[in-house]
Amino acid sequence: MKSIWSKLLELIKGNKVTTFVIALILVLLGIVYFQNQRIAHWKDKYQTEVKLKDALIDSVKYYQNARKERVAEKLTIQETIKNLEKMYGQLSDAQKELIARVKELNKKNEVIAAALIVTETKIDSLLIIAGKDGNEVTVDTTKKMVNFNNLAAKDTSFVFDIDVNNVLPAHFDVKPSMLFKSIEIPNKQFATFQWKNDKKKGYPISFSISNSNKYIKVVGLESYAIPPLDKLKINPNGWQKIGNFFIKNGKTVLYVGVGAAAGAGAVYLMTK
């Protein structure tokens, strides 16, 4: 960067017209920069408010990924804990619990991102028929017991071994009972934070979690990320990199432009 400025200064010293043109361009760039800074400030403030509002009222959305897994996704809350505590009355019970947990962890180390996930296992309309889908049924007339299991089935998303007692005719006043010997519901969860491709709202962050087991359903989801997480700074595209350069070096560009313009004006007046 220093070599670029040194070459620019050499060019300015050698040609008065070029000096004036370059100075004028730099001054205009400086004016545009400060104007854009002012607009960006209010835009960032607006986008921050919109992102927070959207995250607080967003509901869990479900879809299926390429692995045929059920995915639950919801926008992430991005605000300081201090400000969130001020708006405590606007938070749901789950959001309050999430903030309380983050605040507790922050006493030891600052939390970058966190999520509170509520899941439930629901078996709905599962029909067990002997000889179908690997299901087996054994009847013990001596113990008046019937055993249902699918231990030999290929489908491992739901494994069961159940004894049903008192099912043979005995005493009519004795109600049948069922003993759940074991129910295994293996599951793999994969969680990610990602940028939502929404330029108008400043690329909000969302949190998603996938479950490999079809019987596992996410019924509640809240997530939190520290406010400094900004796509424009962390993962900018080409145009955003150019914008970041002027944001970082805008004052230098303006000062050089004003100084060059003043020098060019003085030279012009003296030689006319």
What's the whole-number average pLDDT of the chain? 75
pLDDT at 170: 66
pLDDT at 60: 92
DSSP string of the chain, one letter each residue: -HHHHHHHHHHHHH-HHHHHHHHHHHHHHHHHHHHHHHHHHHHHHHHHHHHHHHHHH---EEEE-TTS-EEEEEEPEES-HHHHHHTGGGS-HHHHHHHHHHHHHHTTS--SEEEEEEEEE---S----TTSTT-EEEEETTTTEEEEE-TT-S--SSEEEEEEES-SSS-TTS--EEEEEEEE----EEEEEEE---GGGT--EEEEEEESSTTEEEEEEEEEE-TT--HHHHS--HHHHHHHHHHHHHHHHHHHHHHHHHHHHHHHHHH-
pLDDT at 68: 87
Lowest-confidence pick of 174-188, 235-249, 252-266? 252-266
Q: Where are the domains of the chain?
A: 2-44+233-271, 60-123+187-230, 136-184
48-65 tens-digit pLDDT: 777 888 888 899 999 999
pLDDT band at 123, cuts 50/70/90? confident
pLDDT at 138: 87
Q: Flag whether pLDDT at 102 surpasses 70.
A: yes
Task: Look up the pTM and report it.
Answer: 0.60
Q: What is the mean pLDDT of residues 219-235?
A: 75
